[in-house]
Amino acid sequence: MGSISTSKLDPKKFTKLYLNGEYVDAKSMDTYSLKNPKDNSVVLEGIPIAGSEDIDLAVRYAQAAYDGPWRTFSAIQRTECFNRLAALMEEQLIPILSLDSLTSGNPVSIIPTREKTYIKNAILYYAGWTDKQKGDYLPADDGFVKLVRHEPLGVCAAVNPFNAPVATFIFKAAPALATGNVLIVKPSEKTPLGSLALAPLFEQAGFPKGVIQVVTGAGETGALLSSHMSIRKISFTGSIPTGKKIQVAAAQSNLKRVTLELGGKSPALVFDDCNLENAVTWTINAILARSGQVCVAATRVYVQKSISQAFIDKYVEKMKAAANDLGDPQDDSVKLGPLVDQSQFERVKGMIERGKNEAELVVGGVQHGDTGCFIEPTVFLNPKADAEIYKKEIFGPVSIVKTFETEEEVLKLANDTEYGLMSGVFTKDITRALRVSSILDSGVVGINCISYMNMQSPFGGKKQSGLGREMGEYALRSFTEPKTVLINMNA
């Protein structure tokens, strides 16, 4: 057994806000503590809850940076800052992500192989976009030349989730800064440490002070950002109920732009002509990643009846075996960690208990070990049509497997939800795959894969799974406003 060291980063250093290039005491005197979900031990006390004075101060610093040095940066200068930031990540990202593991429960084993790579790649991807945001020219056939350019919005805010705090930080900050905005980041109150540790790297990379700032706190702090009259855009990743509150606050304040990446209840449609091993592998990985605490988790698996027994046998076997992978998330040999905290543990446990009366429990459904927030991977079969575990997002390692006979039937089942984030189609018939993908109500459809995101392509949901898109060129559009310039050729 081994461990990835976090000795370089002492959690006790991060009991302050990060404003205008410095760690500063909050004006608000309210604080809270952080716990490690593997045993509910206290990691750190005294995390500040930023109040209205703190948010006002952060906004003033952000506006000064936007109006001042940042506005003078050329596209190439911004690219150079991104490249230096990526270089800094090479040596400092592992300790930062390991620090977050103390309160998220995310295993440190995923850091070198997955997290570090896609976070660094996101920075490099947007480094290449700073000088490629072209506008439009429309001919003067009516005597007026029409030019369209895309301009930054100004002071923006990001409210991030607990499950991938540093990755989400970068996924929002990179397109915001590439387009010339400034950003105030509020990480989840459950996982703020990595974001606080990450912030100074931006100044080290050459970004001016105030371009990136980090404030901590729970819903009340997010509400202050959502309703602030000088913040022009808020990007939120999290639950649907909170997303709705943010949209209301944004509308009632100054009609700030909003991007919402919300919940999911992702269906995987497994047809009888699929590569069975591939379908099992993808659907298993898509429910066990971060112990099921991802919005794109494949929680509804529909299997055609003719192969249902073969699929279910393999699926159940792998889910049962995955319980052996649960353990100390700070041990680099461990693949699965606990749920993020006691409240999430109790929520998932309650849904499982109620689910026993709504479907057939075939695997798991119990706490793993005597301490901490560990839930064994859980599988239910053929739930009632209105079952809570079938209809609502669980956000834990809990999946539902349901059989179907026809394509028409499974499409109706898959689309019978208010969620529309991710889906997957498993078949060797490319015609069927394209046909089904066009009918599925989700922002992303995988063919012979599921729960996969790529930095080059837009990511986001339909229905109540969100508004707007992240990643790719589409994220750049969400941080800019088109401006039309009309030139009278007859003046």
Catalytic positions, written as ranges: 261
Q: Report in angstroms the alpha-carbon separations of 194 from 7, 115, 189, 198, 463.
A: 14, 13, 12, 6, 32
Cα dist from 152 to 127, 146, 353, 430, whole Å: 16, 20, 49, 41
What is the dihedral angle through the alpha carbons of 207, 61, 71, 256, rounded to the nearest 10 degrees?
A: 110
The count of C-alpha atoms lying within 13 angstroms of the C-alpha of 414, restricted to the half-sphere facing its C-beta, is: 31
| Residue 400 · residue 359 · CB < 8 Å | yes
Angle, vertex CA 368, rays to CA 106 and CA 385, nearest 5: 90
Separation CA 379–CA 5 (nearest Å): 35
* Angle 176-454-295 from CA coordinates, rounded to 5°: 85
The token pair at 84 is 């230096």
Tokens of 150: 């895309």
φ, ψ for residue 186, nearest 5 deg: -115, 105
Among 84, 356, 59, 367, residue whose Cα is nearest residue 204 = 84
**Which residues does 333 contact at the CB level (< 8 Å), separation at least 6?**
1, 2, 109, 327
Strands, sheet with 182-186, edge to edge from the N-terminal-most edge strand: 22-24, 17-19, 212-214, 182-186, 155-159, 233-237, 257-261, 466-467
H or E segment to which residue 476 belongs: helix 472-478
Q: Which amino acid appears at position 42 of this protein?
A: V
